[in-house]
Amino acid sequence: EAGVVQSPRYKIIEKKQPVAFWCNPISGHNTLYWYRQNLGQGPELLIRYENEEAVDDSQLPKDRFSAERLKGVDSTLKIQPAELGDSAVYLCASSSGQGLGDNEQFFGPGTRLTVL
C-alpha cells in the first residue's frame, strides 16, 4: 500500500512569489494534517481536516496561507506571497481518526521550501 505522497519534494522560489504543495493521503484516511517543520525543531500543526472540513486552522497564518481539500481526499497548501521566514519543510500526514487508538499519523516525506 502506498504511503502519503507529497509533491514537489523540493521547491526554491524568490520571496513574494506564490507556491503550492500537494498531498495525497493514504487511501481511506479521513483525517489529513499539514505541518511546518523548521530546521532542528519538531513539526508544528498548521491545519487539520476531517474529510473536506477544516476543523482546526487556528495556527494557519491566514493572511498568506490557504489550504483546501476538495472531495475529502487530496489536499493543497498554498503560500502567497512567500516570505523568507517561510523556508521550512512542509509535512503532510493522515490518519484514520476513528478513535484515540487510531490516531497514528502517517507522514509523507515532506516538501522542502527555500525562499530566497
Partner 1 sequence: GESVGLHLPTLSVQEGDNSIINCAYSNSASDYFIWYKQESGKGPQFIIDIRSNMDKRQGQRVTVLLNKTVKHLSLQIAATQPGDSAVYFCAELLSGYGQNFVFGPGTRLSVLP
Instruction: Say whether 50 sits in a helix, a strand or coil.
Output: strand
Check binding of 114 to partner 1 (CB under 8 A): no
Q: Does 27 bind partner 1 (CB under 8 A)?
A: no
Q: Estimate to the nearest angstrom the gap between the alpha carbon of 57 and the chain centroid.
A: 11
Q: Does 40 bind partner 1 (CB under 8 A)?
A: yes
| All three cell numbers of 2 | 502506498
C-alpha distance from residue 93 to each of 6, 57, 115 (Å): 10, 15, 23
**Interaction with partner 1 in 70-99: which residues (CB under 8 A)?**
91, 93, 95, 97
Binding site for partner 1 (CB under 8 A): 4, 31, 40-45, 48, 55-56, 91, 93, 95, 97, 100-101, 103-110
